[in-house]
Amino acid sequence: MDLILEGIKKAFWLLITFDPEVIKITLLSLQISGTATLVSLLIGISIGTAIALTQFPGRKIVVSLINTGMGLPPVVVGLFVTIFLWRNGPLGFLGVLYTPTAMILAQAVIATPIVMGITLAAIQQLPQKLRLQILALGATRLQMVWILIKEAKLPLLAAVMAGFGGVISEVGASIMVGGNIKGYSRVLTTATVMETSRGNFDIAIALGIILLMLAYFINLILTQVQQRERPR
């Protein structure tokens, strides 16, 4: 119990003194996971919508693959991304292993199926007739897709939250492809693991609290956006 209080005290101390190391780690977490989420939104929403609106043979298999991907284990992603990015691996010429770029890549791989799966479900649950109605009113196909996406805004914002929440809290892939390098690829989760193994439980708890607060504020903003037009 003392330890937890100690950790909470430490967290506030680190926050109110603007500890440069902690600020840097926090900003980097935000930057890496934010960018990865953006990438996953671009890919996930476009492919998710496309699949939701088309019929093709083997569609059920593709959809079930995407749904499985929503639970992709981060360490497995980390392992494969590492092997691909090795100097002597297939993508070694990029030279990005143990960089924030590699972490963005791995996190985007984790978040994309989550966004894609939720998008797919969100677009599909819109009434069939809506599509016909929009087209009948003279909209082009692209305009129709845009209206459908806007119509599914609530679940799509949930997709953003799920994707971001999945990657900001993820540690397995980040530590493997980023290497937890001080001031360069050390993020909140990997720093927490390291401080735990160093026996600095108070700092580890403090980092954990900062991570939770960060996740809360991001979700608070997104929820604000999501719920704004709710009561009608």
Interacting residue ranges for another protein, rule: CB under 8 A: 27-28, 30-31, 34-35, 38, 86-88, 92, 95, 97-98, 100, 150, 179-182, 184, 194, 196-199, 201, 221, 225, 228-229
Q: Which residue has the tokens 């989760």?
A: 189
Query: What's the rounded Cα separation, in Å, for the pair 91 and 14?
Result: 39
Which burial class, exposed, middle or buried, applies to 168 when counting CB atoms under 10 A from its CB (0-12, 13-18, 19+)? buried
For another protein, the closer of residues 23 and 53 by Cβ is 23
Supply the minimum distance, in Å, between the C-beta of residue 123 and another protein. Answer: 18
Q: Which residue has the tokens 């119990």?
A: 1
For another protein, the closer of residues 54 and 88 by Cβ is 88
Supply the minimum distance, in Å, between the C-beta of residue 56 and another protein. Answer: 32
For another protein, the closer of residues 132 and 213 by Cβ is 213
Query: What's the rounded Cα separation, in Å, for the pair 63 and 67?
Result: 6
For another protein, the closer of residues 68 and 223 by Cβ is 223
Supply the minimum distance, in Å, between the C-beta of residue 67 and another protein. Answer: 27
AA letter at 8: I
Supply the minimum distance, in Å, between the C-beta of residue 84 and another protein. Answer: 12
176, 82 Cβ separation under 8 angstroms: yes
Query: What's the rounded Cα separation, in Å, for the pair 211 and 174?
Result: 15
